[in-house]
Structure formats: structure tokens, C-alpha cells
Amino acid sequence: MKIAMFVEGCYPYVVGGVSSWVQMLLEARRETDFIIHSLLPDRQQSGQFKYTMPENVLEIREAYLNDHDVVKPFRKKTKLSDEEKSCFRKLIFGENIDWLGIFCFFEKDNISVNDILMGEEFFEIVQDLYIEKYPQCVFTDFLWSVRSLYLPLFTVLKVPVAEADCYHAISTGYAGILACKGHYLYQKPILLTEHGIYTREREEEIIKVDWTQGIYKDLWIRYFYTLSSCIYDCASQVISLFQQAQKIQLELGCPKEKVRVISNGVYVKQFENIQGKDPEDTFINVGAVLRVVPIKDVKTMINAFALAKMKVSNLKLYIMGPTDENPEYYEECLEFIRGFQVEDIEFTGRVNVKEYLGKMDMTILTSISEGQPLSILESMAASKPCIATDVGGCKELLYGGEKDSLGRSGIIVPVMNVDKIADAMVTLAKDEALREDMGYSGRLRVKAFYRNEQVTRTYGELYEQYKDGK
Amino acid sequence: MAGIGFELKRLFKKEGVFSTIFAGIYATAVTIGPTIIVIVALNIMYMLPPYIEIAYRDKELLSATILYVFVFALILASPINIILSRYVADKIYEEDYDSIYSSVETGSVLIAVFVGIMGIPFGCAMYFIGHLPLYYIFGTYMFFAGLSFTFYYMTFITVLKEYRKITFSFLGSLVVGFLFVVISVFWFGAAIVDAILFGLMLSFMLIAMILLFFIKRSFVNHNGNAGELFSYIKKGWWLILANALYIWGLYVHNFVFWFFSDYKIRVAEVFQSAPTYDMATYLAMISNISVLVIFVVNVETKFHTAYKAYCESIIGAAGKDIRRTKQKMIETLRRETIYIVQIQVIVNIIVYVTALVIFPKIGIEGVVLSMYPALSIGYMILYLVQCLMIYLFYLDDQKGAPLVGLAFFAGTLLGTLVTVKLPPGMGGLGLVFGASCGFTAAFFRIRYKLIHLDRHIYGRGKIVKQVKSAKEQKSVTIYSFQTMKKGGDSN
């Protein structure tokens, strides 16, 4: 059985939650062969794998969103026939999109993205869209914005997809579209697992950015909605990690009969006999397992820690995870620490979490955006209480879902709220009994609902279910 | 004429009869003024008694020398001037005056090189085949160089904005030349042919130097970026080619007559010509040239304004405004084209009838008069081709403009090869055919460009770098672990 898996901007180039999850699944499904289609922003990271490939991975196929327009010499100019033009019109207008027509078009030999985007047919479609919906804008800006919008999509659509028994996308967006291409071309089923909600994450990003304004932000948002709708329509199952994410999927138009939740998991046994805290260690240790990148909002964490340390002087913060992904941000964090003149903060770099977690009294995660963080699950498996911001599935993990009466296994705080985060640290630092209660509750919850064995078994069943295109 | 439009617009903006007349004179002066001045000067020299008295062979030699110098200087300078004109116009628009002098230097070197390439072999032919004296060859060469440089420096006339001084320098130089002829003939007893040749050489060398002096004085600062003109030449190869083909087409019918007609003569073994046909051509050219003046005025004042408005709307206007300005530009182009065709036909009929009456009275009759009608129609169409080519230059038609040039050149060449042996009245039909080919090509090309203007304006360039790979497409990089696995299994 061969599964083609589609990932964007993570595995196997970036260490993190989604990448670890993929690696876990690949290692657990030894009897299944995998081809990984990985989308990168450009060729800079090409071949720089951060994980050791399990034997059941046959190929990694790298494609690039910002790539050159690769064509053969002595070719005919790419032009759209009337039928093809109609397909592109539907795509750009976002109405009754004929994805099969689009995918078949990009399967043709020697397609030039330049020719399409700069061609007369595409121009006419954009002009019609402009006249119909945006006649007040500066036309040239509009035209170039639409061209920029579809450039990465068309680049991705040119990528040849491997034939497989089942296609599994780990997000919507470009990875989802490429999986859909395989699904349409080879008539094989497609599964979607969303760790975060890609469309919402992009929407939040676009709202904040300043490189585009006004209606162009709407265009970008609508564009990502269009990409999501493609895979929501053709996927056999749409999986989310937690209930809240599922609700958003439904809001985004995913058919109700397709959705299901399969939570993240950890191997609980691996956290049973981990090394505990040194009895002579007088510090209250706070652990943060994360990549030092802006989305984790490490600066707020440092700020809150500085505030908490003023009340609990023996607090110590361990920031565990790679610092090389965004060196500038790491430098800013160090500058922040120097600015606050706060002591007892240690960046450990990439470590074996199991060696450190036992020594912690609590863990913390101050992310701006999350799916269902593996680090919280690991913390719970290690019986450590956790402070986490109210993003993604964190609340469900720490406070339990609808059918869960196991109690709280940590404290949920608002995003970027320094005072509340500091208060939570102080509360846990001062109350050892509370820490133990929450740790105990967390371990029980992980054992009950978030076991890797369960996750891999479920995916195995799913793969079997859709084996041979059934 | 770089930047002529700015000045014409300023002049035609002023109301009143005198302003309009002055603007008309100005337009005439900068478009065909130097030609007229030279024609007048030559005719005055030809009227000198010693010239009238010399042998016909000597007259033929001088006429042929002057003809060759003018024809080949124009063939040489014109393609370079067209690109320089665009460069200078761009620099004026950008107000980057420091770059202009650097281009003067680069262009001068180019002209000098081309003068050498064309002039030295011909000079050798004059010496070894024609057995002409070295001083005569030297005079011809320097006259050729002086005229080529004059044509080149005239591109800057409108940038200098010292029209009066330039006009006087032209006149003054020719007066100096004339005085030189008179003194050398009457005082020193020089041969009139040699005196006129050296007089012309002196005049044009002087004009070129005075123009260069004005240019140098106007552009004190120069940024030393001499190579920039080459990048323009690289980008504007199609302009050069189109212009070169047009200029070759302009003379190729003469060349055919020089070599294949019954009117051909050979002077001093090297100057091949057909004076009868050349004279008829010259008259046809002069009688139609007024249209060019009208066209330049109309293009630079009306069409340019509409074109500029359209370009500006593309940069920052809503779709409906772009459509409006585009429509206005197309309408202006259509109206002006029809207008120029009408004017050309009317002018041609008037001039033709007048010529038929006047020419016999001034001694032009016989074969020349028989050849004139067809050539006059040919020139009428030919100038229309030139007008339409200017539109194609505006529309940045990199394929169309050279194609039109080619249609004109090839049509004229082939047509004249057929008509050269026909009776004199039909001799010029080759030019009529070639010009009609050029006109048809230009007409349909402009029509095509206007229909597909959006594609041309918005579809130029590339949104992302294109990489041509002879191998299988590399939009994906595949890392295969299957082989390694198989290897591991076999062990």
C-alpha cells in the first residue's frame, strides 16, 4: 500500500509539532509505503532534512512555491483554448470551479506559468472580474495583484504528482491542492488532516500584513478559501485535532458527514520513568518546549517570567528548542532579557525533552496560534501542569472536552496578557499541591484520550479503509 | 528630432495668426530646413559663371560626388539617429541632462567608425579604380564625415533650444563655404569643381563643429556613463532595423536604376548613377515633403497628447478611465491618419498639376517629366508609410516596424527590378509598388496592434524568471530512498 502525503513548509525541514506528528505516523506505519510531497517557499532549504527517514519512505518530492518558470527550449507558447479559458474563468471568479479541467491543463507538457499569467486570455478574465466586481480600483494594480495571487498556485499545479493508493494532505492550501490533483488525476481517495486551520491562519496573517491593502486583502483571503474548498469538497474524510477546529471547518463549508476528530497523541510509557528533579535543586523550574520563533511569542513569556520572578525569586525558565530557525528573533529575545535584567533564563537549544521534562515543576506555552500542541501533551504525560494561551486546542487539552470530567491539568491564559501569565506562574509556583493535582489529572487525560498507539491505529484503519481507491 | 514635440506644443498653444505661422516655419525649419538651405546653397554655387563654363564630365563628377555623400551619409546616420533621438527624448523627460553629453561622445565614436567603414573602401575605389587625385578623395571623405556628423548633431537641436543661433550657424557656415569657393576660384584660380567640393566640406565641418560647441556648452556636466547608449541600442535594435530598412527602401529604386536602367552612367569609373531618374526622384521628393511637416506637427501636438494621457491612465487610473483615454488615442490616430492621407492626395494633385505646367518652363521636360508622375505618387505613399511607421514606433511594435520596413524595401527592390526596363513613365511604378506594400503592411499592423493593444501593454515582460531546461522539467526535486533500501535488503 502506497500513501502520498502532502505537507507544506514543515516536514522534514523544520522541527516542530506537525513534523513530529508526521515522523511519528511514518515510523508507526512501517507496513505502509509513503511518498512525501513537501512544499517549500524556495530552493534554499532544499535537501536539508531535519529527520532521519524511516525505511518505508520511498521518496521525498520537493516543490517550491516561489520557483522559476521551468520550460523546455523550442516550445510553443502556452495559450488557453475556449474550454480551458472557461475553466480559468471559473477559478478566478471562484464560481463552480472545474478543478479537473484545471488539473488536466497543468498536466500538459511544457506549460509556462509566465505565458498563462501574461497571456491575453488571462488578461481578459481578470478584466471581466474587475469590471464586474472591482471597477473603482486602479486597474493595473488589480491586474498585477491577481497575477501575483495565482503565481504560486500555478507553479504548484505544474508539479507532477506521484501515483498512490491514497492521498493524505496534512493541511489545506497548496499542499491540499496538490493532493487534490493526485486525487482527480488518478481517481484515488483523499484524506485531510488539519493540525491548525490553514485558511484561518492565513486570514489572520493577511489582516495583519502591510504589503497589501483594502480589497486586495479580501482577494487573498477569498483565494485561500477557494483553495480550502477544493479539498473539503473532494476529501473522503476531513480530520481535525480538536472540537473547536472541527467547528471552524464546518463554518468554512466542509460537509458535516466528512468531519471527524483524531487527536494528537504521545507514547505515555516513554514518560513513565523519566529522571525527576534533583532534590538539591532549590529553583521552581518552568519549562517551555518550543521553537524560538515569533508565533510562539517568547518575548511575552520572558516579560511575564520577569514579572513573576519579582514575586517568586527562585523561579527559573528553561526554553527548550531550536533557536536557529529565526536567528534575528532569538537575538531580540536575548536583547529583551538583557533589557529586563532578568536572570535564570536558559536557552538549552534542541534537547531530548524527556531528559528535561522530569526536572520541571511546570511548563508554559505562550503561542499566538496553535493546533493541538504536542509539547502540552508531553508535559501532561510527564505529570507536569501547564500554562498555555487560549489558542487552538490548548483549552480542550488542559480543561478537558465535553465527555471529560478529569479536572484541570493546567491554567489557560489570554494571548499576550503578561499579567495573567505571570499570575499563573506565581500561583503554580506557590502551590505545590495544585501542581501535583494538575499533573496527575493531565496524565490521566493523556492516558485516556491522547495515546499515540490509538492515533496510529486509527490512521492505519483509515488507510486500510481507503486502500485500492475504495 | 528629440524633444521637438515639447517645443511644437508650446508654439501651437499660442493663439493668433503670427504664432501659427511662426510655429509652421519652425516645424518646417527643424524637419526639412537644413535640406532646403543646402539645396539653395548648391544652386547658388552652380550658378557661378566658372561652373557653367566647365566640361559636362566635370559637372557630372561633382554632382555624383555630392549625391553619393548625401545618400550614404543619410543611410549611415539615420539608423543611429533614431535610437539617439529616443535616448535624448527619454533623458529630457527624466531631466537627466548629465547623461546627454556622454551619449554625444559615444555616438560620435560610432559615427566616426561607420564613416571609416563606408568611406575608406570607397576612397580606395576612387583612388585605384577611378584614378581620382588624393586631395579630391580627401575632400570627399571629409565632406562625408562632416555631413554625417552634422546629421548626427542635429538630433540635439531641440535640446539646445538655441534655434536662431543654430540657423545662423548653418547659414553662416554655408556663406563661409561660398566665400571660400569664390576666393579660391577668382583669387587663387582653383578649379571650380574642387573649390565647390572643398567649400561644401568646409561648410559641413564648420556646422558640425559649431553644433558640437553648442552641445558642449549646454551640457557642462556629464556623468561619464557612455555605455548607457549601447544598452539603448541593444534594446532598440528593432528601431534601428526598421529605420535602416526604410532608408534603404528610400534609395534602393535609385540603386536599381543606377545599375540596370538604360539611363545609367558611370562617372570616374566609381560613381554609378542615373541622373535622369535621380532628378525625377529629387523633384518627387521635394514636391511631397510638406506632408511630413504637417504630420510631425500633428503627431507631436495631438497624437502625443492623447498617447501620453493613455499611458498615464495605465499607471494609476480606474478601468473606465483607461478605456476612455485609449478610445481617444485610437480616435486621434484614426482621424490624423485619414487627415494626412487627404492632405497628401490634395497636395500631390496640386503639385503634380503645377509641376506639369512649371517644369517645362524651367527646362525640365522629356524623360524626367515622364518619370515624375509615378515617382510623385510613389513618394506620396512613401511618406504615408513613414508617418504610419512613426505610429508603430509609438506603439512600440518591435516586430511590426521592421516588418513594414522590410515590406517597403523588398517591394521597392523587386518592383523596380521589374519596372526598370519599362517605358520611362512606368519606371517609378516599382517605388509605387514598394510603398504600397509598406503602406498595406503598416496599415494592417497598426490595426492589429490597436485590436491587441491591451495584450501589448499589459502582457509584456515576465512575472517570474523563466529557466529553459532541455532535460525533464525540474519543478520538483526527487530524493529517492528506494534504491538505498533495496541495497540494504540485498546485504
pLDDT, mean over chain A = 92
**Coil/strand/helix, residue B124:** helix
Question: Among B458, B463, B466, whose Cβ lies nearest the Cβ of A123?
Answer: B458
Q: Is A147 on the interface with B (CB under 8 A)?
A: yes
Inter-chain CB proximity A62 and B479 less than 8 Å: yes
Output the nine-digit C-alpha cell for B440.
Answer: 498595406
Contacts of B318 in chain A (CB under 8 A): 135-139
A305: pLDDT strictly greater than 90: yes
β-bridge pairing B476-480 and A2-8: unpaired
Cβ(B141)–Cβ(B127) below 8 Å: no
Question: How long, in residues, is chain A?
Answer: 470
Strands B265-267 and A345-349: unpaired
- Do A81 and A88 meet the contact criterion of CB atoms below 8 Å apart? no
With contacts defined as CB-CB under 8 Å, which chain B residues touch A43? Answer: 477
Cα-based distances in Å from A452 to A23, A264, A441, A449, A455: 12, 7, 18, 9, 5
Q: How far lies B235's CA from each of B228, B241, B396, B445, in Å?
A: 11, 12, 11, 21
> Amino acid identity, residue A164?
A
Q: Is residue A447 a contact partner of residue A423, using CB atoms and an 8 Å limit?
A: no
Cβ A63–B480 below 8 Å, yes or no? no
Indicate whether A172 pLDDT > 70: yes
**Out of B463, B475, B479, closest to residue A47 by CB:** B479
User: Quick check: B481 and A147 CB within 8 A?
Assistant: no
- State how far residue B401 is from chain A, nearest Cα, in angstroms: 22
For residue A118, what pLDDT is reported?
93
Q: Identify whether the C-beta of residue B376 lies closer than 8 Å to the C-beta of residue B284.
A: yes
Cell of B422: 519599362
Would the CA dihedral through B214, B219, B220, B223 be positive or negative? negative
Is the ipTM above a cut-off of 0.85? Answer: no
Whole-angstrom distance, CA of residue A313 vs CA of residue A344: 10
> Among B459, B461, B475, whose Cβ lies nearest the Cβ of A67?
B475
Q: What is the mean pLDDT of residues A62-76?
A: 86
Cβ count within 10 A of residue A400? 18
Average pLDDT over residues A329-337: 93
Burial B232-250 (b: 16+ CB within 10 A, else e): bbeebebbbbbbbbbbbbb
Contacts A118 to B, Cβ<8 Å: 458-463
CB contact under 8 A, B482 and A58: yes
At residue B465, what are phi and psi to the nearest 5 degrees?
Answer: -60, 135
Q: What is the pLDDT of residues B240-269, one digit of tens each?
A: 999 999 999 999 999 999 999 998 989 888
> Taking chain B, what is the end-to-end CA distance rounded to the nearest angstrom?
81
Residue A235, amino acid: A
**Can you point out the beta strands (E) in B88-222?**
none
What are the residues whose beta carbons fall under 8 Å from the beta carbon of B229, sequence distance 6 or more? B83, B84, B87, B102, B103, B106, B107
Give B476's contacts in chain A (Cβ within 8 Å).
61-63, 159-160
Q: Of A72, A148, A151, which has the smallest distance from its Cβ to B468's Cβ?
A: A72
CA distances from B424 to B275, B276, B280, B367, B430 (A): 13, 10, 10, 6, 12
Q: What angle do CA A258, A264, A265 make, to 5 degrees?
A: 135
- Cα–Cα dist B272/B118, whole Å: 16
Q: How far apart are CA B98 and CA B88, in angstroms?
A: 11
Please judge whether B319 and A123 are an interchain contact, meaning their C-beta atoms are less than 8 angstroms apart.
Answer: no
List, for residues B372-427, the tens digit of each pLDDT value: 889 999 998 998 898 899 889 888 888 999 999 999 999 999 999 999 999 988 99
Question: B465: which chain A residues are within 8 Å (Cβ-Cβ)?
Answer: 68-69
Q: How far apart are the first and last CA of chain A?
A: 13
Could you tell me if residue B14 is left (phi over 0), alpha (psi between -120 and 50 degrees) or otherwise beta? Answer: beta
The residue of chain B with its CA nearest to that of A117 is B463
Contacts of B458 in chain A (CB under 8 A): 118, 123, 140, 143
pLDDT at B2: 45
| Closest chain B C-alpha to A62 CA, distance in angstroms | 5
Closest CB to B459: pick one of A69, A70, A123.
A123
Nearest-angstrom CA–CA distance, A173 and A185: 18
Cell representation of residue B155 = 538630433
Residues A114-124: what's their mean pLDDT?
A: 92
Q: Is the pLDDT of residue A308 over 50?
A: yes
CB atoms B459 and A160 under 8 Å: no
The answer to whether the CB atoms of B477 and A61 lie below 8 A apart is yes
Residue A149's pLDDT is what? 93
3-state secondary structure of B267: strand
Q: How far is the C-alpha of A398 from the C-alpha of A372, rounded, in Å? A: 11
Record: contact B470-A73, CB cut-off 8 A: yes
List residues in chain B touching A: CB distance below 8 A: 314-320, 322, 452, 454-455, 458-470, 473-482, 485, 488
Whether the pLDDT of residue A320 is over 90: the answer is yes
The whole-number average pLDDT for the span A331-349 is 92
Q: Does A445 touch chain B (CB under 8 A)?
A: no
Sign of CA dihedral B450, B451, B456, B458: positive
Pairing of strands A57-64, B476-480: antiparallel
pLDDT over 70 (residue A422): yes
Q: Are A42 and A11 in contact (CB under 8 A)?
A: no
Judge: B475–A110 Cβ closer than 8 Å, yes or no.
Answer: no
Given a contact cutoff of 8 angstroms between Cβ atoms, the answer to whether B465 and A68 are in contact is yes
CA separation for the pair A109, B468 (Å, rounded): 14
Three state DSSP letters for chain A: CEEEEEEECCCCCCCCHHHHHHHHHHHHCCCCEEEEEEEECCHHHCCCCCCCCCCCEEEEEEEECCCCEEECCCCCCCCCCHHHHHHHHHHHHCCCCCHHHHHHHHHCCCCCHHHHHHCHHHHHHHHHHHHHHCCCCEHHHHHHHHHHHHHHHHHHHCCCCCCCCEEEECCCHHHHHHHHHHHHHHCCCEEEEECCCHHHHHHHHHHHCCCCCCHHHHHHHHHHHHHHHHHHHHCCEEEECCHHHHHHHHHCCCCHHHEEECCCCECHHHHCCCCCCCCCCCCEEEEEECCCCHHHCHHHHHHHHHHHHHHCCCEEEEEECCCCCCHHHHHHHHHHHHHHCCCCEEEEECCCHHHHHCCCCEEEECCCCCCCCHHHHHHHHCCCCEEEECCCCHHHHHHCCCCCCCCCCEEEECCCCHHHHHHHHHHHHHCHHHHHHHHHHHHHHHHHHCEHHHHHHHHHHHHHHCHHHC
Percent of chain A with pLDDT over 90: 72
pLDDT of B15: 52
The minimum CA-CA distance between A152 and chain B, rounded to whole Å, is 10
Distance CA A118, CA B397 (A): 17
Question: A286 vs B223, which has greater pLDDT?
Answer: A286
Chain B residues touching A47 at Cβ < 8 A: 477, 479
- CA atoms of B457 and B491, how far apart (whole Å): 64
Q: Is the Cβ pair B452, A67 closer than 8 Å? A: no
Nearest residue of B to residue A157, measured between CA atoms: B475
Q: Which residues of B touch A147 (CB under 8 A)?
A: 463
Q: Do A114 and B462 touch (CB under 8 A)?
A: yes
- Nearest Cα to A106, choosing from B460, B464, B476? B476
A76 shares contact with chain B (CB less than 8 Å): no
Name B320's Cβ contacts closer than 8 Å, sequence gap at least 6.
Answer: A135
Question: Low-confidence residues of chain B, pLDDT below 70?
Answer: 1-38, 157-164, 222-224, 226, 364, 470-474, 482-491
Lowest mean pLDDT among A63-77, A291-305, B125-139: A63-77
Residues of B in contact with A70 (CB under 8 A): 467, 469, 473-475
In order of A280, B245, B347, the CA distances from A168 in angstroms are 49, 62, 78
Predicted TM-score of the model (pTM):
0.76
Least confident of A163-172, A449-458, B76-85: B76-85
The answer to whether A372 contacts chain B (CB < 8 Å) is: no
Give the C-alpha separation, B275 to B368, whole Å.
Answer: 9
Cell of A203: 486570514
A 14-53 residues with CB below 8 A of B? 43, 46-47, 53
Cβ proximity of B92 and B84 under 8 Å:
no
pLDDT at A418: 95
Chain A CA closest to residue B320: A135
Residues 104-123 of A with CB under 8 A from B: 110, 112-114, 117-120, 123
Question: Which pLDDT belongs to residue A58?
Answer: 94
pLDDT at B30: 56
Residues A147, B463: C-beta atoms closer than 8 Å: yes
